[in-house]
Structure 1
Amino acid sequence: MPKHLTFLPVLALSAAISTAALADSGPNAETVVASVNGEEITLGHVIMAGATLPEQYRQVPADVLYNAVLDQLIQQTALVQSRDGDVPVAVELSLENERRSLLAADAIETAMADVGSEEELRAAYDAKYADGTGGTEFNASHILVESKEDADAVKAELDGGADFAETAKAKSTGPSGPNGGELGWFSDGQMVPEFQEAVSALEVGQVSEPIQTQFGWHVIILNDKRDKEAPELEAVANELLAELRQNALEDRIEELTSKANIERPVIEGLKPEMIKDLGLIGN
């Protein structure tokens, strides 16, 4: 166990600590467990410091962890007290950002706290799988080349009657080329958006126009498509809960920002590159 621990910023309070109420009797968050020149360190400080540690530190025995965290808080307090003068600008700005982040994280938890009842999950499930299927699966093959010119040439060959699989074996630069360009079955979201959009627009047996993705230029043929069987609610409950909470959060943020008086003035000389210029902070 290292003598000096490294604390990490808290990104979401609820992920680190329990929200259970403290007992009415016995030690609580306000119990003073140490003081340095009269400055108090409470059990609450220790708990929150421990809650933000990396997972490997939380595996050590509680007595070792408690004493190590308390020792570090004492050392940090003594170091802070040794400082002369004002808080450095960089530290003050970091503290303001950290406070903003913590309070925003708590607001996020509040916005999502009451979302995801059994009724809401059932309604979300029924809406998503109303037709009794789990969406469409596609079976496609493609020919991947480096340039649009190459893709246009491949498309012209196919339009002239060339066999797709044989052309893929000869021309495709992708790993599926030796297999005739076959990609097997896949669902919405498993391919990059440009590719998925092109596939979804095809009829079975139809060959696409050349389309570009981050990997290069593709010519695609849709071999087949089918409806997936709808999953059981229990199998997708966590996915639906995440979607409900994300939607609730986005709605809350939209509500707040739409009502807020937000100003983003045009500032002469301000450039995006300045985000990397720590020299602007000063001491």
Structure 2
Amino acid sequence: MKPLRPILAALALSLASPAAAQPADDATVVATVNGEAITLGEMRALKAGMGPQAAALPDAALWDMILDQITRQTAVAQAGEGNLTPRDEALLALQRRSLLATIALEAVAEPEPTEEELRAAYDALWGSAGEVTEYSAQHILVETEEAAQAVAAEIEGGKDFGQVAEERSTDSSGPGGGDLGWFTLDMMVAPFAEAVGALEKGEVSAPVESQFGWHVIRLNESRLKEAPAFEEVRDQMAQQVRRERVEAEVQRITGEAEVERTEGLSPDLLGAE
């Protein structure tokens, strides 16, 4: 999100000659390249994108550097303008739309969330805390029931679960001993969730099939989900409020737009050159 614009712009004034003050609005033309104007607004926009390093340069050096960069870019861009392909035109159109969409949504996201909005977001996310159980578990994922039975037999025979996971699991959690961290059952596919919910602490499941393969699961611990203090997650809630504003605005605008799709076009056209 771009920073708020300063209320006052710094002006270089001559105390001896007040009439020498220069106009400072973004539309002020600072140079032309083959008749194409370069504005003060363009220079300010480029400076804003340079980050903190721009502040380390003297004003005169920064001015010359930015103006020189835009001048060269403009001249080269003019040379390329007559050689645009339809693909180039499409890319420019996408970039323009992206910028305009960003401008429209910044106006919605930028205002600071109210206390009421923050509290509502907190309640929506954490209102059920204390009523939801979280589980800490490990699992070993293999491709067949036979492989899962062999894994279960190794563990029943006393082999360490984490070691077997490292050796046998095809899941990305295997190198970490099959550790899945803390999760709620609604985060998992149904057969896996049902198996975890039926386990006691320290118990290992029989092989369980899901769309990913065959699992052997060990429940390490369970606990009631605890809500963080509101002040600890205030910034997180502010981001959430802004995301929800943006999503709501996108839904509103697109819902009101008149969209007509051309029928009969094949998706294969995406791959055609």
Structure 2 length as normaliser, TM-score?
A: 0.71
2:74 aligned with 1:74, yes or no?
no
Give the aligned partner of residue 202 of structure 1.
Answer: 197
Residue aligning to 2:57: 61
Instruction: Select which of 232, 240, 246 maps to 2:229.
Output: 232
What secondary structure, in the 3-state scheme, does the structure 2 residue paired with 1:210 have?
strand
Letter of the 1:162 counterpart: E
**Residue in structure 2 matched with residue 265 of structure 1 by the alignment:** 262
Moved more, 166-175 or 103-112: 166-175
- Report the secondary structure of 2:135's partner residue: strand
How far 1:271 moved relative to its partner?
0.9
How much has 1:225 moved relative to structure 2? Answer: 0.7
Which residue does the alignment assign to 1:221?
218
Partner of 2:120: 123
Say whether 1:19 aligns with 2:18: no
Q: Structure 1 residue aligned with 2:32, among 32, 35, 43?
A: 35
Percent identity between matched residues is 33
Q: Give the 3 Å change call, closer, same or farther, for CA 35–58 of structure 1 in structure 2.
A: same
For 2:4, give the aligned amino acid: S
Secondary structure of 2:197's partner?
coil
- Structure 2 residue runs of 5 or longer lacking an equivalent are 12-22
Please tell me the residue identity of whatever aligns with 1:264.
R
Paired position in structure 1 for 2:92: 95
The count of aligned residue pairs is 254
Greater alpha carbon shift after TM alignment, 84-93 vs 25-34: 84-93
SS in 2 for 1:70: helix
- In the alignment, is the contact (CA less than 8 A) between 2:137 and 2:179 conserved in 1? yes
Q: 1:28 and 1:185, CA in 2 relative to 1: closer, same or farther beyond 3 A?
A: same
Please state whether the residue corresponding to 1:18 is helix, strand or coil. coil
Q: Which runs of 5 or more structure 1 residues have no equivalent in the other structure? A: 1-13
With structure 1 as the length reference, what TM-score do the two structures score? 0.69
CA RMSD of aligned residues (A): 4.1
Q: Give the whole-Å Cα distance in 1 for the aligned partners of 2:56 and 2:10.
A: 28
Tell me how far 1:234 sits from its aligned partner. 1.6
Q: CA deviation at 1:21?
A: 4.5
- Return the offset for 1:226: 0.5
| Separation (CA, whole Å) in 2 of partners of 1:47 and 1:178 | 50
User: Are 1:151 and 2:161 an aligned pair?
Assistant: no
> Matched residue of 1:229: which SS?
coil
